[in-house]
Structure 1
């Protein structure tokens, strides 16, 4: 059982993401879309795990994506849709220096593990 809250609605995620934040020079500045962020680059010492988007009642979340405006997985303007991949497998972290929120999940392929991160943009959160 996770000790962080489960965020189940776009409204709750918007409320979290709307908190003020300031400019920061952390390694997540390049993560407008989903980017590979290895453990060596992830600024663990300044990141706090604040919530999860993983539904504890769903054993195997969908891999279906939502791109109603023709975006792609890696697009910086792709919608943040909680019930769709990869958001349904994400945790939410906050930077202690700037209070910016970032989404993080691990991509698993045949023989690789690829931690990914994306800064949370409140304007892209959809229903």
Structure 2
């Protein structure tokens, strides 16, 4: 699977997707980045459809992009493909609600934290 590297590529990957429905599964809304214990990840209904991780880059940047003063956890924070944490994400599709979700794993010392955010096309920027 070739990595998505631009906002245009990400928008194109989502083009023609079915209209999302409200999620009633264990994932919940996930409007901003949320920690999601592995037992809440609904493996049977999820399909990985893309990756934003470029395997040629050993250590992607930790720089974030917030041109409108948002923060990492803000539901309206921009989705900037080449910036943290998006440059470490995979894109998943939920068969039950038709939503696309971004997922990455945060590592810190002995802590492993899976994080999930709904992929809102209106938030995608360059």
Q: Establish whether TM, by shorter chain, passes 0.5.
A: yes
Q: Distance in 2 between matches of 1:83 and 1:70?
A: 18
Structure 1: 4+ residue segments shifted above 6 A: none
The answer to whether the aligner puts 1:112 opposite 2:111 as a matched pair is yes
Q: Distance in 2 between matches of 1:91 and 1:28?
A: 16
Q: Distance in 2 between matches of 1:35 and 1:54?
A: 19
CA-to-aligned-CA distance 1:60-115 (integer Å, 9 cap, x gap): 10000011111110000000001100000000000112221000000111220000
Counterpart mapping for 1:55-94 below 5 A: 55-94=54-93
The answer to whether the aligner puts 1:11 opposite 2:8 as a matched pair is yes
The answer to whether the aligner puts 1:51 opposite 2:50 as a matched pair is yes
Paired position in structure 2 for 1:39: 38
How many residues in Structure 1 have an aligned counterpart in Structure 2?
Answer: 124
Cα distance, 1:9 vs. partner?
1.5
Gaps of 5+ in 1: none
Gaps of 5+ in 2: none
TM-score normalized by the length of structure 1: 0.91
Paired position in structure 2 for 1:20: 18
TM-score normalized by the length of structure 2: 0.92
